[in-house]
A = this chain, B = another copy of it.
Amino acid sequence: MNDASPEEFIAGQTGEVGLVSWQDFVCAEPFHFENGGKIPSFTLRYETYGRLNAAGDNAILICHALSGDHHCAGIHSILDSKSGWWNNIIGPGKPVDTGKWFVVCSNCLGGCVGSTGPSSVNPETGEPYYASFPLLTIRDMVRAQKKLLDHLGVTRLYAVVGGSMGGMQALQWMIDFPDYVEKVVALATTARQSAQAIAFDAVGRSAILQDPGWNGGRYEPGKGPNVGLSVARMMAHITYLSDQSMEEKFGRSKTEEAGAGKTLFGTEFQVESYLRHQGKSFINRFDANTYLYFTKALDLFDLYTPTGKLEDTFAVVKSRVLVVGFTSDWLYPPEQNRDLVHALLRAGKKATYAQLDMKLGHDSFLVHAPELYRLVGGFLES
């Protein structure tokens, strides 16, 4: 492109989107939730990379997972040591090529990184929604994103791309807005959570709800159920990794603190120290109420509803779909990903399944994965 934006200039030949900044979209109309309840207005915080074409049809929507946000590529400041969470895959010349496509990513409705969620102030009462925030679903997240895309002048999505909870959103997009979505890329996801996946979410919620700091959902920012949230995060983090990757990364390595195995209440093992760090850092960047609402949305997501047949749900789909499962993902195992494609094929849709032998478990879609990049890039180009 001739009229390079500052970020493209900074990015130069590095293939990076470079400096980016977020914006807030305020939807001043009431938002009605799928399961009842409404809010008088809402904000979505978002970032865009690349340029929307005149027809408004070259946009790719990126949907984030449970603990993600709108900042999926680039840096906010030249002092940032870390780029956005999917910087690997988004940028000029990368699979999600910002030289060709207008890339949009928003913090989901219900979130805690700028978008309206339970910790946001209810304009009608002047105080935070807390637990009065309506029950949230994946469909609600998608409908809020649609308002943002309308506002941005996107007439049609070239693609929706997401993993895990983001994959659920991608699937919901092609069902709820079949004429609006050309391609869907859903990674490490499922048509509905298994009993075991629900169970892990339930224990995490229980840790938060039983923490006196939760206080019925009313707590000062940063002063909430930090113990419960950190425990929930530590446990969930195990489900994002694989047995093998933990074994290779940590094995039974001890901490320095461990001494001669006499550390009863300290951190004896490296894996213990790693998880405690994960729990601790999470409470500084995530809201416990959002965690409750998001995990509930995951648990309630069920594309088998209401007919009990997945292919019936997919009857409306017009998008071309790529689903990718990862062999070591035991949260949403390969079979659950494959089943999505089988149901799409039974419904006569254009869908393909790819399965990657990666060791890193559920989070494989977030790590450096050239084979995945080639798959996604090829599918988006085709």
Q: Which A residues have a C-beta under 8 Å from some C-beta of B?
A: 35-36, 131, 135, 192-196, 198-200, 202-203, 205-207, 209-212, 217, 227-228, 230-231, 234-235, 238, 241, 243, 246-247, 249-252, 260-262, 264-265, 267-269, 271-272, 275-276, 279, 292-293, 296, 299-300, 302, 330, 333
Contact = CB atoms under 8 A, between A and B. Distances in A.
Nearest to A304: B252
A167 B234 CA distance: 28
Contact of A199 (B192, B272, B296): B272
A206 B194 contact: no
A236 B103 CA distance: 42
10 contacts: A36-B262, A135-B261, A135-B262, A193-B252, A195-B269, A198-B272, A206-B234, A206-B276, A231-B231, A268-B296
Contacts of A251: 195
A292 B263 CA distance: 12
B195 A265 contact: no
A252 B192 contact: yes
A121 B296 CA distance: 45
A260 B35 contact: yes
A36 B260 CA distance: 10
B227 A211 contact: yes
A322 to B, nearest CB: 25
A293 B263 CA distance: 11
A243 B193 CA distance: 11
Contacts of A217: 265
Given A207-B207, A210-B230, 8 more contacts: A194-B246, A196-B243, A196-B246, A202-B271, A206-B234, A206-B276, A210-B231, A217-B265
Which of A195, A202, A206, A230 gathers most chain B CB within 10 Å? A195
B261 A300 contact: yes
Contacts of A227: 207, 210-211
Contact of A202 (B243, B272, B302): B272
Contacts of A205: 265
A305 to B, nearest CB: 9
A269 B210 contact: no
A84 to B, nearest CB: 28
A200 B238 contact: yes
Nearest to A242: B196
A210 B296 CA distance: 25
A190 B205 CA distance: 31
A202 B252 contact: no
A194 B247 contact: yes
A202 B231 CA distance: 10
Contacts of A299: 268-269
A269 B202 contact: yes
Contact of A198 (B135, B252, B260): B252
B265 A131 contact: yes
Contacts of A293: 264
B135 A264 contact: yes
A283 to B, nearest CB: 11
Contacts of A206: 230-231, 234, 275-276, 279
B296 A264 contact: yes
